[in-house]
Structure 1
Amino acid sequence: MSNETATAAVAWKGTVSDDEQSKAPLNVGVALILGVLLWMGPYMGVNGVLLPARVAQLVGDQKATVLALLSTSAMIVAAIANIVFGALSDLTRSRWGRRTPWIVCGAVLSGLTLLLLNVVTSVPVLVAVWCLYQLFLNAVVAPLIAVLADRVAPKNRGMITSFYALGYSVGIYGGQMVAAPFVKNVSGGIVILAIAAMVGGPLAAVLMREKSSLDMPKGEFTWKIFAQHFAFPTKNCRDYYLALVAKFLIVAAKFTVAGVQLYILTDYMKQTADGASGYLKIINLCMMVTAIGMTLIAAPVSDRIGSRKLPVVACAVFVAAGSLVPFFSANPSVMIAFALLVGIGMGMFNAVDQALNVDVLPDPDTAAKDLGIINLANTGGQVVGPVVAASVIAVWGYQGLFPISACFAIVGGILILFIKKVK
Structure 2
Amino acid sequence: MSSVLTDPVSSGAAPAQQAAVDTYAHVSGSRRWLLLGSLTTVFFILLALYCAVLSVLLPNQIQAIDPANKARDLAIVFAVTSIFSTLTTPIAGALSDRTRSRWGRRTPWIAVGAVVGALCLFAASQMRQLWSITFFWVGATVALNSMQAALTTIVADRFPEKERGTVSGFVGAGMTAGGTIGIVVAGYMASTLTLAYLLFAVAIAVGCVAFVLLNPEPRYHGAAPSSMQLGAFFKSFWISPRQHPDFAWAFCGRFAIYMGYQGIVTYLLYILQDYIGLSLDNANRMIATLSTVTFIALVIAGLGSGLLSDAIGRRKPLVFLSSLIMGIALTVPLVLDTVPGMLWYAALMGIGYGAFMSVDMALMTQVLPKSLSGEGSESTGKDLGILTSAVNVPQILSPVWCAWLLNLSGNNYQWLFISAMVFVFAGSFFVLPIKSVR
TM-score for both structures, normalised by structure 1:
0.84
Correspondence for 1:156 among 163, 166, 170 = 163
Structure 2 distance, partners of 1:198, 1:406, is 36
Superposed CA deviations along residues 258-289 of structure 1, whole A, max 9, x for unmatched, are: 55556666666667778766765543322222
Which residue is equivalent to 2:210?
Answer: 203
Deviation at 1:173, TM superposition (A): 2.4
Which residue is equivalent to 1:12?
Answer: 21
Contact 1:82 1:372 in 2 (8 A): yes
Indicate the SS of the match to 2:431.
helix
Task: Say whether residues 1:310 and 2:317 are aligned partners.
Answer: yes
AA of the residue aligned to 2:368: L
Task: Say whether residues 1:178 and 2:178 are aligned partners.
Answer: no
Task: Say whether residues 1:285 and 2:298 are aligned partners.
Answer: no
AA of the residue aligned to 1:306: G
AA of the residue aligned to 1:420: K
Task: Decide which moves more: 93-102 or 110-119.
Answer: 110-119
Contact 2:301 2:355 in 1 (8 A): yes
Task: Decide which moves more: 125-134 or 348-357.
Answer: 125-134
Correspondence for 1:71 among 67, 78, 83 = 78
Which residue is equivalent to 1:379?
Answer: 392
Contact 1:291 1:347 in 2 (8 A): yes
Deviation at 1:68, TM superposition (A): 4.0
AA of the residue aligned to 2:309: S
Which residue is equivalent to 2:41?
Answer: 34
Superposed CA deviations along residues 288-325 of structure 1, whole A, max 9, x for unmatched, are: 22112210110000000001111101112212222333
Task: Decide which moves more: 185-194 or 146-155.
Answer: 185-194
Indicate the SS of the match to 1:25.
helix
Which residue is equivalent to 1:419?
Answer: 434
Deviation at 1:329, TM superposition (A): 4.9
Indicate the SS of the match to 2:120.
helix
Correspondence for 1:301 among 308, 318, 324 = 308
Structure 2 distance, partners of 1:258, 1:242, is 24
Change (3 A) 1:275 1:99: closer
Task: Decide which moves more: 124-133 or 219-228.
Answer: 219-228
AA of the residue aligned to 1:169: T
Contact 2:172 2:358 in 1 (8 A): yes
Contact 2:168 2:362 in 1 (8 A): yes
Deviation at 1:50, TM superposition (A): 4.0
Task: Decide which moves more: 74-83 or 370-379.
Answer: 370-379
Which residue is equivalent to 1:366?
Answer: 379
Deviation at 1:13, TM superposition (A): 3.0
Which residue is equivalent to 2:198?
Answer: 191
Change (3 A) 1:382 1:119: closer
Superposed CA deviations along residues 352-383 of structure 1, whole A, max 9, x for unmatched, are: 11111111011242122221221122233355
Change (3 A) 1:186 1:268: closer
| Gapped regions of structure 1 (runs ≥ 5) | none
Deviation at 1:60, TM superposition (A): 5.7
Superposed CA deviations along residues 373-421 of structure 1, whole A, max 9, x for unmatched, are: 2112223335544555566674696666655544433322221110011
Indicate the SS of the match to 1:79.
helix
Deviation at 1:52, TM superposition (A): 4.9
AA of the residue aligned to 2:175: Y
Compute the RMSD of aligned alpha carbons. Answer: 3.6
* 1:3-402 map, 5 Å: 10-13=19-22, 25-52=32-59, 59=65, 64=70, 67-117=74-124, 120=127, 123-213=130-220, 215-222=222-229, 225-227=232-234, 229=236, 231-234=237-240, 236-257=243-264, 259-260=266-267, 280-330=287-337, 332-363=339-370, 364-382=377-395, 384-385=397-398, 387-388=400-401, 394=408
Structure 2 distance, partners of 1:327, 1:178, is 28
Deviation at 1:51, TM superposition (A): 4.3
Deviation at 1:23, TM superposition (A): 9.8
Structure 2 distance, partners of 1:267, 1:60, is 16
Structure 1 distance, partners of 2:395, 2:361, is 17
Superposed CA deviations along residues 226-284 of structure 1, whole A, max 9, x for unmatched, are: 1465x232274211110111112222333455555566666666677787667655433
AA of the residue aligned to 2:260: A
AA of the residue aligned to 1:187: T
Indicate the SS of the match to 2:101.
coil
Change (3 A) 1:405 1:56: closer
Change (3 A) 1:185 1:142: same
Contact 2:188 2:288 in 1 (8 A): no
| Gapped regions of structure 2 (runs ≥ 5) | 7-12, 371-376
Which residue is equivalent to 2:424?
Answer: 409
Change (3 A) 1:317 1:56: closer
Task: Decide which moves more: 277-286 or 143-152.
Answer: 277-286
Superposed CA deviations along residues 49-107 of structure 1, whole A, max 9, x for unmatched, are: 444555567x4658836544432221111111112111110111111111111001111
AA of the residue aligned to 1:343: G
